[in-house]
């Protein structure tokens, strides 16, 4: 009985190894189909869009993208370079949009004089936009555009029934 269990277990291991070996070429890797002994050509590093043009959102509740370079911006416990333009008292001089009022609220909904510590590190939500081709097609439509389309459709139907 013990010997048959051992044989059965060994046979299972061999079959598992063969299945793994057979699918080894189908496993996705960073090297793709490049052989191990050759160096893959690196992709070109995309450039950051630096045109200060606001982009539309790609999904609901997406934080706004940063439309400019932020290389060497200091954001740490002592300094937040972003707030030198985007804080409430700096937007008139900088002409930059002010951060949302929600960034001045604590977790209990109380308004603070300065930006909330939970919202202090901008790059945990906001990212720069790169000049690249989209990896996947995005068919997201903002809620305002859906409502406008529905109202237009409704007004067309009302216009057809009045004729």
Residue 28's pLDDT is 66
pLDDT tens-place string over residues 98-118: 999 999 999 999 999 999 999
What are 136's two structure tokens? Answer: 């996947």
23-54 CB burial, b ≥16 within 10 A, e <16: eeeeeeeeeeeeeeeeeeeeeeeeebbeeeee
Range 57-61 average pLDDT? 85
- Cβ of 145: how many Cβ atoms within 10 Å? 11
What are 43's two structure tokens? Answer: 């992709």
Range 108-136 average pLDDT? 91
pLDDT tens-place string over residues 71-83: 999 999 999 999 9
* pTM tops 0.85: no
Range 132-154 average pLDDT? 88
Residues 6+ apart with CB under 8 A from 114: 104
What are 49's two structure tokens? Answer: 């869009």
């Amino acid at each position: 009985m013990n010997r048959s269990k051992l044989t059965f277990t060994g046979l299972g291991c061999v079959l598992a190894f063969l299945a793994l070996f057979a699918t080894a070429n189908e496993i996705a890797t960073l090297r793709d189909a490049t052989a191990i002994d050759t160096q893959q050509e690196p992709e070109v590093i995309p450039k950051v869009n630096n045109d200060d043009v606001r982009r539309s959102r790609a999904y609901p509740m997406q934080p706004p993208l940063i439309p400019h370079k932020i290389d060497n911006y200091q954001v740490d416990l002592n300094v937040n370079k972003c707030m030198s333009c985007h804080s409430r008292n700096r937007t008139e001089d900088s002409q930059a949009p002010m951060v949302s009022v929600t960034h001045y609220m604590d977790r209990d909904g109380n308004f603070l004089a300065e930006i909330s510590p939970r919202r202090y590190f901008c790059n945990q939500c906001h990212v720069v936009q790169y000049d690249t081709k989209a990896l996947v097609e995005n068919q997201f439509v903002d809620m305002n555009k859906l409502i406008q389309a529905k109202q237009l459709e409704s007004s067309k139907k009302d216009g057809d029934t009045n004729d």
